[in-house]
Each structure stands twice: as C-alpha cells, then as structure tokens.
Amino acid sequence: MEKRRESVRGLKTEKLDWFLEKFYKYGLYVVFICLVLFFTSRNSNFFSFDNGRNLLQQTASSGIAAAGIVFVMLTGGIDISISSVMFITAVISAVLTDAGLGFGGALLVSLACGAAVGCINGFLVAKLHIMPLIVTLAMQYVVRGVAIGIVGIQTLFFNNEVGKFIVKTQVAGVLPLIVFLLLVIMALGQFLLSKTWFGKQVYAVGNNKLGAEQMGIKTTRIVFLSYVICGALAGLAGLVSGAQVGGISPTFATGQEFIIISSVVLGGVSLFGGKGTIFPNAFLGVLIMMCIENGLVMARTNMYAYTIVRGCVIFVAVLLDSIKNRGETR
C-alpha cells in the first residue's frame, strides 16, 4: 500500500538523494561559513568575537524553543502555539519578578506555565486525536488573549533586577548566562533524545506509529510528553526573550513560531516526523537563520524586507525537506 503512494511521488531521483544527504551532513556548515563570509564582506564587524557572542545571545531564546519543538516534530506533529507561550511566560515572569520573585523562581514558573499549555495541547492531540495544527492554532490565540488579559495592552517592561541578571550575567566571565542556558538545554535535550529509551521511542513513534503501538510502546504518552516538553521549553524561551527585549508589547514574539519551525526544518529536522536531532541539526538551523537576520541588520537592509527573506528561507527549507523525506514509508 504505502509503497504505491511512494511511487506516485515522482520528484525523487537518486542523484538528488545523494546530494541532499550530503547537504544535510556537510552542506549546512558550508552554507553557514558562506553566510559568515558574505556578511563579513558587507560589514567587516560581522566577523568578530563580539558579534559572534552577540549572535549566540540572539540565538538563545529561539534555540531553546527550537529544542522543544524538535520533540513534537519528531513525533510527526506541529506546535504553533509556542509564540504565545513565549509571550505569556515573559509576561508572567516579568510581573512576578517585579513582585519580588527571584531568578530561580522565575525559571520554575516559566517552565511550569509553558508545560501547562503543553499539557492542554498534548491532551487534545494525543488523547483526542484532533489535528495538531488546529489545536495549536486555537491555543495560540487563547494563550495570547489570556496573557494580554493579565497585563492589559500596554507594553510591559522587564527591566528589574532579575531581568538584568538574566541578560548581564556572564558565566565564568565570558559566557553570557543565556548562552549557557541555551547550551545546557540543547545538551539535555539531545541527551534525552539519544541516550534515553524515551528519546528512542519518540523517534519510533514518528517513524511508524502503528508499529510502535503494536510493540507495546505507549504512543499516547510519548506524544503527550513531547508537547509538554515543547511547551515547557517555549516557556523558558519566553523568559529569556522577555528579559532580552525588555519591552513586552502585545505583539511580542508573534510570528516566532514559524521562524523557529523553519529554522529546525532548515537544519534537517523533518516536518514529516522521525528525522533530525537537536544538536547539531536544530542548533545549526537556528544559527543560520539568526545569521541571516543578523547579517541583514548589519548590512542595513530595509527592515520590511526581512519578512520576504524569512518567507523565502522557509520555502527553501521545507522544499528540501519535502524532496528528501516525503513519501518515505518509514
């Protein structure tokens, strides 16, 4: 049956396959280096230690959220509510830290808050089998509405002690705290994926859900947990991003979800499930995306053109993914 569908697909040739495999293995590094060279040629400040660190700092929040969404995408799902989750946790942690909550508390609250939204998503998708796109689209609106309801429509400033602490702290003198956080999350996420049976089962579910069920893997639980992890990490990303941006307006992080999704797809995480890693795939994808945006800023491109570039990058990323992974039966 499935074989038949595969053969109707058409687009695939062996040469292209070979190329794509190599591209995702080595090509992305080449693309990254080329981008660095290109933007350096436009503005020599691009290739500098400071800008490098700056780039990593900018990558932090999307990188953390990306690590989360990889879990969901590996199971073959999608979560577009993450931008709103980022918003609500940014808002909540800003409000609570103003009221005297410490950094550790803010960290826990944002993780918990994101996880709570993830639970709802996970329940509706895994248990009730509603299309993830619709569930998370609706949740996107619900969560954002609730968040605005908490603070009202004025811009909220996250510039208290904790906010400053998050942005300014340097671990061991050189490594910014948020970059440290990013690296820890990525390492933990990748550990979860490659060193635990849970991670392997996430891959298994994305590869062959029916087979996994038959083997006694609890697919409902795996999918549910993926959404919870995704939500929790999006929450953390919201905290980081909120502290970085400082001013949290009602449109905070809108559109981020698609940038993050397309970054990880660009890095080689498949939209069709079962393929990809947090490190290096998702990390590299986010880095390249940030590099493009950062480079555009430094090259003083018209800011409205960003969205055009973003759209083109998304398009190319998903096109390559479709060619590579669509129709693969397992």
Partner 1 sequence: MDKEIVLKVEDLCKNFGPVKVLEEVNFTLKKGEVLGLVGENGAGKSTLMNVLGGIHPKSSGYVELFGRQYEPQKPEDATNAGIAFIHQELNLFTNLTVAENIFIDKGRANKPFLSRKEINEEASRILGKLGLSVDPNSKVEKLTMGMRQMVEIAKAVAKDAKIIFFDEPTTSLSPAEKGTLFELIQEFSKKGISMIYISHALEDVVMLCDEILVLRDGKTIGEQAKIDTVTLDEIVSRMVGRRMEQMYPYVEKNVGETILSVEHICQGRTLQDVSFQIKKGEIVGLFGLMGAGRSELAHGIFGTEIIDSGDIQYKGNPVKTINPQKWVQEGAAFITENRRDEGLLLKKSVSDNLVLCSLSQLGKHFGVLDSKKQIEVSKKFVEELRIKTDDVMNQKVCNLSGGNQQKVVIGKWLMIEPEFIILDEPTRGVDVGAKEEIYHQINHMALQGTGVLFISSEMEELIGVCDRILIMHKGQLTGELKRNEFTQDTLLKYAIGELSDGEKEGERERA
Partner 2 sequence: MKIVKQLRKILVEQSVVVLFLFYFVVCLLFVPKFANMENLLNIVVQSSDLIILSCGMTFVFLNGGMDFSITAVLALTSVIGAKILTSSQPVVLAISEAILAMLAIGLMIGCINGFSVTKLKIPSFIATMATQLIFSGIALTMTQSNTIGGIPASFNLIAQGKILGIPAPILVTVVIVFVSYCLLHSMVYGKRVFSVGTSHMVSTISGLPVKRTICSLFLLSSLYAVIAGILMTARLGAGVPSLGKDMMMDVVAAVVVGGTSVSGGEGGIPGSVIGAILVVMLNNSLNLLGIDWYYIMVAKGGLILIVSVYAILKKSSGREVAIWTKKSS
Q: Which residues bind partner 2 (CB under 8 A)?
A: 4-5, 8-9, 11, 78, 124, 128-131, 133-135, 137-142, 144-146, 148-149, 153, 250, 255, 258, 261-262, 265, 271, 302, 304-312, 314-315, 318-319, 322-323, 326-327
Binding at 144: pick from partner 1, partner 2, none (beta carbon under 5-8 Å per type): partner 2
Residue among 100 and 255 whose Cβ is closer to partner 2:
255
Closest separation between CB of residue 147 and partner 1, Å?
A: 34
302 binds, among partner 1, partner 2, none (CB under 5 to 8 A by kind): partner 2
- DSSP readout, 127-180? IT---HHHHHHHHHHHHHHHHHHHH-SSPEE--SHHHHHHHH-EETTTEEHHHH
Amino acid letter, 55? L
Q: What angle do CA 221, 322, 194 make, to 5 degrees?
A: 40
Which residue, 153, 142, 135, is CA-closest to 227? 135
Tell me which of 11, 133, 187, 215 binds partner 1, using CB under 8 A: 215
Q: Which of 54, 159, 208, 301 binds partner 1 (CB under 8 A)?
A: 208
Distance CA 285, CA 265 (A): 7
CB of 188 to partner 2, least distance (A): 28
User: Could you give the 3-state DSSP secondary structure of residue 248?
Assistant: strand
- Tell me if 274 contacts partner 1 by CB under 8 A: yes
Residue 172, binding choice from partner 2, partner 1, none, Cβ under 5 to 8 Å by partner class: none
CB-nearer residue toward partner 2: 34 or 308? 308
- Distance of closest approach, residue 26 Cβ to partner 1, in angstroms: 18
DSSP, res 100: T
Q: Are strands 170-171 and 156-157 parallel, antiparallel or unpaired?
A: unpaired
**CA-to-CA distance for 197 and 204, rounded, in angstroms?**
10
Give contact residues for partner 1 (rule: CB under 8 A).
Answer: 1, 3-4, 7-8, 10, 194-198, 200-201, 203-204, 206-208, 211-212, 214-217, 274-275, 328, 330
